[in-house]
Amino acid sequence: MASNAGFVWHRRMLLGVSETDQQDLADSTSIWFGIADTWLDIYRKRHFAVIDPMVRMALQEDRIIEWGEAFDRYRHDAQEFIDLSRKYGLYSGYAIGRSSHQIAHTASVSSVTFDPHVVTVAQLALMKIIFPHLNDVLTRPGFLRRPALTRQQLRVLEWADKKKTHVQTAHIMGISERTVRFHFNNIYNKYGVNDKAGAIAKAKMYGQLH
């Protein structure tokens, strides 16, 4: 397959996004390209994101990880995964992760595999330059599951963004101040934030508030 950079190789790209600070990648949002459906089914059903050496190492170290390094480090408790990965031709590649997004507080890992006999040294060098930026792009809100807010919750957020107080918002919407606070508490829980500023930032990040 040909990538946008002009490389020709068999490749895997995995994005695992956890929506908590705990990096619960077993229940993550994943985006895959160029991988056999049978491997994807095995990976998801057996929650391999939890033991995947590339995922584990990429979330611990702030650099591009070579698959071979990760296989060697976690061989003692991930041998089954490694053997199956090799069976499907997935044995060489790079991975990079972010343990916690600055705003979304999500964990993400992007991983790409290729045939080392096909790519050139120059292509690999270019991939190392591009790959961190690719992971940053894939962690943008458009790729993440966003919490569902009710119409009333969105309305109180809209007024908060316009610098209205709880009292003013209650008057405008024709509801009690207690109800406004109730809506905000639910919003904070859904977004995992503690205040209006954090809620507004999250809403704008998710495209729910303009």
- pLDDT of 44 strictly over 70: yes
CATH number of 13-143: 3.30.450.80
Dihedral of alpha carbons 27, 142, 42, 74, sign? negative
At the topology level of CATH, where does 151-205 sit? Arc Repressor Mutant, subunit A (1.10.10)
Q: What integer pLDDT is reported at residue 22 of this predicted model? A: 43
93-98, strands of its sheet edge to edge: 29-33, 13-18, 107-113, 93-98, 65-66
Domains of the chain, residue spans: 13-143, 151-205
Tell me the pLDDT band of 4, cut-offs 50, 70 and 90.
very low
Q: What is the pLDDT of residues 154-203, one digit of tens each?
A: 999 999 999 999 999 999 999 999 999 999 999 999 888 889 998 998 88
